Chains A and B, each alone.
Chain A
């Protein structure tokens, strides 16, 4: 009893002291809700399609997505999945997207580097040839690859959404260095640039200019193209891209949990039967 009490006390301590961490560092991310959250969550295909359009027309100018192939777009739970084409390589929409891109290849006869039309098996081409080129074009900052972005940040979906929608004018007294932007959700330490009084502002500097604007992307399904909508949609797309099999995972999981519950119930009854005559 006493031991249990102590363990509980230990957990209680952890709870009370937990929020201390938030005293420094960036602002807690804004909370938005998406259809893919929770054990039964699924992607809203229309939203992921819109998000793909935002990625393609805005993000892809600087950010690579090297782990993603065109064929992924047409696989199950992907933005352009069509049950008429269980093999995503046959999906005509995916093929037509791939056709819009040129990728490097080696001519099999001359050995020269040539450009050819992409196929659905190709990965998304990167906007820059290499890291140095990417840095040179972006004021020394490297736009991170977005393939697993949502998995690569704590509270990934909320975090990216907050960054995209959280740009604001720097508080009075904060000197923003050239080619940098203030964002309260960005981790960092701005104390060296703060000349004002009182608390140093939360957040940090980000090298990415505010990427989204109202009506910057025209949604084909007529959804109103606000910054908030664009951010939510592109986060849905990135969340799908970070783990394209997650719907499959959750569906498998629900079935596995039901099976395990039945299994545990059977074993419990079996256990009670076997032990019924033993005093212990």
Chain B
């Protein structure tokens, strides 16, 4: 073979003659190999992120006329339940009254709905404890109650009692018209 040196045939097993050390080129080649694997790793990680069609369904439009006062409609949004609740005057008054009460996650009721739309409360319907779906009408505060581990939410969806760490989340949404909201 062309790449052999005439007459040279030292014992490759001899200690101290390990050619893999000290040579820049070997380090460069090894680095390039690691770089290639690392570069290819990203596509294999990213493939588990939401796909194009999943992202496309990430926003929903909802017609509020379907909800009667004092009722809530549960819709599916990003695979999770979403509460769209039309609150009664009494519920709103109760929520506002409690703004000053001591709470784990203090929040004012007016920050949990769009300005001038106190009637409409839109919440992500998963308990902030471990993701169960709370039911309306239970609990000590007239709001939601999570049957899994006993978290009580008030009529504004704020956590008042039980293990959940934060209030029921308010998703990003906007009123397209008086009767139509776009969520997400």
Q: In the complex, are there CB atoms of A and B closer than 8 Å? A: yes
Interface residues in chain A, defined as those with a beta carbon under 8 Å from any beta carbon in chain B = 69, 71, 75, 87-89, 108-109, 120-121, 259-260, 262-263, 266-267, 269-270, 272-280
A259-B39, A263-B33 known; A275 vs B3 contact (CB < 8 Å): yes
**Is there contact, CB below 8 Å, between B25 and A121?**
no
Q: Give, as a whole number of angstroms, the nearest-CB distance from B1 to chain A.
A: 6
B71 is an interface residue with CB less than 8 A from chain A: no
A-B contact pairs, 19 of them (CB 8 A): A69-B53, A108-B66, A109-B66, A121-B56, A259-B32, A259-B36, A260-B36, A267-B32, A269-B25, A269-B29, A273-B26, A275-B4, A276-B3, A277-B9, A278-B12, A279-B5, A279-B9, A280-B1, A280-B4
Q: Give, as a whole number of angstroms, the nearest-CB distance from B23 to chain A.
A: 6
List chain A residues, Cβ under 8 A from B33.
263
Assembly CA distance A145 to B112 (angstroms): 48
Leading 6 A-B pairs by shortest Cβ distance: A121-B56, A266-B29, A270-B29, A279-B9, A263-B32, A274-B19
Within 8 A of A (CB), among B49-70: 52-53, 55-57, 59, 66
Residue of B nearest to A252 (CB): B43
Q: Give, as a whole number of angstroms, the nearest-CB distance from B82 to chain A.
A: 13
Assembly CA distance A65 to B28 (angstroms): 49
**Is there contact, CB below 8 Å, between A278 and B4?**
yes
Within 8 A of A (CB), among B1-43: 1, 3-5, 8-10, 12, 17, 19-20, 23, 25-26, 28-29, 32-33, 35-36, 39
Residue of A nearest to B63 (CB): A108
Residue of B nearest to A259 (CB): B36
**Is there contact, CB below 8 Å, between B56 and A267?**
no
**Is there contact, CB below 8 Å, between A120 and B25?**
no
When the two chains form the complex, which single residue of B3, B8, B57, B75 contacts A121, counting CB atoms closer than 8 Å? B57
List chain A residues, Cβ under 8 A from B53.
69, 121
When the two chains form the complex, which single residue of A75, A89, A266 contacts B32, counting CB atoms closer than 8 Å? A266
Q: Give, as a whole number of angstroms, the nearest-CB distance from B73 to chain A.
A: 9
Interface residues in chain B, defined as those with a beta carbon under 8 Å from any beta carbon in chain A = 1, 3-5, 8-10, 12, 17, 19-20, 23, 25-26, 28-29, 32-33, 35-36, 39, 52-53, 55-57, 59, 66, 75
**Is there contact, CB below 8 Å, between B12 and A273?**
no
When the two chains form the complex, which single residue of B1, B5, B52 contacts A75, counting CB atoms closer than 8 Å? B52
Assembly CA distance A121 to B182 (angstroms): 14
Assembly CA distance A69 to B56 (angstroms): 10
Q: Give, as a whole number of angstroms, the nearest-CB distance from A227 to chain B.
A: 35
Assembly CA distance A260 to B40 (angstroms): 12
List chain A residues, Cβ under 8 A from B19.
273-274, 276-277
Residue of A nearest to B56 (CB): A121
List chain A residues, Cβ under 8 A from B32.
259, 262-263, 266-267
A274-B20, A278-B4 known; A89 vs B56 contact (CB < 8 Å): yes
**Is there contact, CB below 8 Å, between B52 and A278?**
no
List chain B residues, Cβ under 8 A from A71.
52, 56
List chain A residues, Cβ under 8 A from B55.
87, 89
Assembly CA distance A87 to B29 (angstroms): 39
Assembly CA distance A270 to B29 (angstroms): 7
**Is there contact, CB below 8 Å, between B25 and A266?**
yes
**Is there contact, CB below 8 Å, between A267 and B29?**
yes
Assembly CA distance A263 to B26 (angstroms): 11
Q: Give, as a whole number of angstroms, the nearest-CB distance from A112 to chain B.
A: 14
Assembly CA distance A96 to B33 (angstroms): 48
List chain B residues, Cβ under 8 A from A69.
53, 56
**Is there contact, CB below 8 Å, between B59 and A273?**
no
Assembly CA distance A89 to B20 (angstroms): 54
Assembly CA distance A160 to B142 (angstroms): 66
A263-B29, A266-B25, A277-B12 known; A272 vs B3 contact (CB < 8 Å): yes
Assembly CA distance A260 to B36 (angstroms): 8
**Is there contact, CB below 8 Å, between A277 and B8?**
yes
A259-B39, A263-B36, A270-B26 known; A120 vs B56 contact (CB < 8 Å): yes
When the two chains form the complex, which single residue of A87, A263, A273 contacts B23, counting CB atoms closer than 8 Å? A273
Q: Give, as a whole number of angstroms, the nearest-CB distance from B37 to chain A.
A: 11
List chain B residues, Cβ under 8 A from A259.
32, 35-36, 39
